[in-house]
Structure formats: C-alpha cells, structure tokens
Amino acid sequence: PVSPGELLCLGSSLAFSGLFYYLYRKKARAMARVQEAPKLQVDNDLPALVSAADGRCLPYVALEGIVLPAKTALISHYHEGLQGVIQKLLLKEHRLIWNSLARSW
C-alpha cells in the first residue's frame, strides 16, 4: 500500500522534474540558435543587409571585424594580452507607481 504522503512526494518530484526539463530544453534551443548564427563581417554592406531584413533586425548573428575603443580598451585581469571593448550599455528604468491598497511602490 502507498501512503498519501508518498504519493504527494512522487507527484511533486515529477512536477519539478517536468518543470526543470522544460526550462532545460528552452535554454538548449536558444543556445542552438546562437551557435547556428550566421557570421557577418563589419563592412559597408552591413547597413544595407540590416535595412533589408524583416523589422530591420537580425536575430542572433555573429559580427566579425575590428573594433576601436572610444577611450581605452578593457584589459583582462585573468589573461595576459587579452583586451575588449563595451559596445553599448543600456539602462532601463521601470516607472514606479504607488499602490495605496498594498502601501508599496
């Protein structure tokens, strides 16, 4: 005989396993799309290619080319001779609205 507590543990274990498998498959599909991304060169043809795409957006592409830093390049503390730049920093602020019922923002 199986007790209700054992059935509850089995059901919750199956539910969590299903949830984690779903999340794993979702991330695996996104990673596969990134790895299969076409490689494009940064040249004069790139703006025309972007404007010809649907919605003027190219999802998951790898750009190859030489980039010059605006001020100084970032130097890695862990790998000698490795440098990098930050392309764009986006700051998005969410509008806060006072909820008088919950008395919170």
The predicted model scores a pTM of 0.48
Per residue in 52-64, pLDDT tens? 888 888 877 888 8
Decide: helix, strand or coil at residue 91: coil
- The domain segmentation of the chain, as residue ranges, is 4-84
Range among 2-11, 37-46, 90-99 with highest mean pLDDT value: 2-11
Q: Which amino acid is at 54?
A: D
Work out the number of other CB atoms within 10 angstroms of the CB of residue 46.
Answer: 15
The per-residue pLDDT of the chain, averaged, comes to 86
User: For the chain, what's the residue count?
Assistant: 105
